[in-house]
Amino acid sequence: MHRLFERLEPGERERLRRRARPEWTRPMLATLVHDPFSRAGWIFERKLDGERCLAFCSSSGARLRSRNRKDLGIHYPELEEALARQAGESMVLDGEVVAFKGSVTSFERLQARMQVSDPEKARHSGVAVYYYLFDILHLAGHDLTGLPLRARKRVLRGAVRFRDPVRFTIHRNRDGEEFLRQACRKGWEGLIAKDASSGYVHRRSRDWLKFKCAHRQEFVIGGYTDPQGERVGFGALLVGFHEDGELSYAGKVGTGYDDETLARLGARLERLERKTPPFADRPREKGAHWVTPRLVGEVGFTEWTRGNRLRHPRFLGLREDKDPKDVVRERPE
């Protein structure tokens, strides 16, 4: 038996299952809720503004995969190398890749790595990245997903040598409301609340909950408008979400772009152009061009209007790790 398993309580060890390390597994996802809370038996983690990442490690190296199974090693080669330098344990880890703008994790800054597919160019981009680990799913031929979260975190602490760029995600055991107030004052995205007694399931669950400081979510890009004045690429993105099997229009997003994004994304949009709108409710936007809905963008906004439109939206970046078919309107439960 692995030395770390000997530290588990007898009832916890009984939940271990001997299994070969999987080549792939779906990550556990959190459910958005409206009201934060402090509840006995729950822990509270910082909601990191980055890219979800599963690591599959063995004596032959490490592979990083996104939540939709894409290879992330081409974007973050130094993270794969840092994990490969570990002791060669066979394990599956769960965490978030982030870049910082000051003391705050920034999805916008991470775009400089996410949009580069050459490992050497990514390495020399000038944007440092870190891998914050918060869970371990498999270790030394054993499936750990049946263990309570607190037990998995204890094993994670001992299984990985935490030194930059690999970091442990710290948590609090109480005062969820006050922690969220502090998080929002610091400019964080929010918190994740987790039932400390829960196992790890490969789907969205109410054992993990999201408390957000501001409104933001993914949207499908279904079109764009012509640029005005000296602007290059495009004017605004036309975005939507899936509802009842159809793509519903949510509004146009005209801010949040630099010239590089306008040019690069504009070229991708031109290649996806089509004659008919993908939206069920055709937008009446001047100078609109329609595209096949294959791209997903992250958008921040102040609120939803009564007509299901975004108020004051701002583009934050592309989400290569999200399938357009999975994009729906997030509603607090």
Provide the annotated active-site residues: 47
Q: How far is 288 from 172, CA to CA, in rounded Å?
A: 48
Q: Is the dihedral of CA 162, 205, 178, 175 positive or negative?
A: negative
Secondary structure of 85-133 as H, E, C letters: CCCCCCEEEEEEEECEECCEECHHHHHHHHCCCCHHHHHCCCCCCEEEE
Strand partners, 212: 190
Tokens coding 292: 């096949």
Helix (H) or strand (E) holding 239: strand 237-243
* Closest-CA residue to 97 (of 169, 202, 156, 183): 169
Whether the upstream peptide bond of residue 165 has omega within 30° of 0, thus cis, is yes
Q: How far is 329 from 306, CA to CA, in rounded Å?
A: 14
**Would you put residue 112 in left (φ > 0), alpha (ψ -120 to 50) or beta?**
alpha
* Residue pointed to by tokens 């970091």: 167
**136-164 burial, b for 16+ CB within 10 Å, e for fewer?**
bbbbbebbbbebbbbbbbbbbeebbeeee
- Secondary structure of residue 315 in the 3-state scheme: strand
Q: Is-contact 319 306, C-beta < 8 A?
A: no
